């Protein structure tokens, strides 16, 4: 739930600066781009999927190993991996009867590392303990 609007969050007068608005609008991409971006971040908005991607930062793992690392069922891991694969965040390879997963490219790793670094920065700013994963990511 968003925080309620505080008087300091909005302008005291209602106006807009035509040139600034025009320049900002010209820099926007098409709606499909933002739909894709929302889907990408939506995939990472699930804690289990974020943990899967974070785990795959360091090594390729089979479905069974991912389930053991995360403490969830293989079926649950498989469902999450399907979403991540559909969005191009992970790729898989078959080795006999095993299916191994890895991150699709370095951009995915960067997204997670930047997110973890931001969480560490926010924790420091707010005086909270910095999560170990955030310290390692930076």
Query: Coil, helix or strand for 45?
Result: coil
Residue 138 has what pLDDT?
A: 45
Same-domain status, 99 and 125: no
Inter-axis angle of helices 31-44 and 106-126, nearest 10: 70
Same-domain status, 91 and 122: no
pLDDT digits (tens, 9 = 90+) for 51-74: 999 999 999 999 999 999 999 999
> 52 vs 10, 26, 123, CA distance in Å?
39, 37, 23
Same-domain status, 94 and 59: yes
> 59 vs 29, 42, 62, 109, 115, CA distance in Å?
34, 23, 10, 11, 19
Q: Tokens representing 58?
A: 């360091």
Look up the domain containing 85 and give its range: 47-104
Instruction: Indicate yes or no: pTM above 0.95.
Output: no
pLDDT exceeds cutoff 80 at 8: no
Report the number of distinct structural domains present in the chain. Answer: 2
- CA dist 109 and 135 (Å) reads 15
Mean pLDDT, rounded, of the chain: 87
Query: Coil, helix or strand for 118?
Result: helix
Same-domain status, 60 and 81: yes
């Amino acid at each position: 739930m968003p925080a309620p609007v505080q008087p300091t969050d909005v302008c005291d007068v209602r106006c807009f600066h035509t040139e600034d608005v025009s320049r900002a609008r010209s820099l926007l991409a098409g709606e499909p781009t933002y739909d894709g971006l929302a889907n990408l971040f939506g995939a990472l908005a699930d804690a289990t999927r974020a943990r899967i991607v974070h785990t795959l930062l360091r090594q390729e793992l089979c479905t069974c190993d991912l389930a053991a690392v995360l403490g969830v069922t293989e079926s649950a891991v498989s469902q999450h991996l399907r979403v991540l694969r559909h969005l191009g965040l992970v790729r898989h390879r078959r080795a006999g009867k095993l299916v191994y997963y890895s991150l699709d490219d370095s951009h995915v790793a960067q997204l997670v590392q930047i997110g973890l670094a931001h969480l560490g920065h926010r924790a420091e700013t707010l005086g909270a303990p910095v999560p170990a994963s955030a310290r390692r990511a930076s």
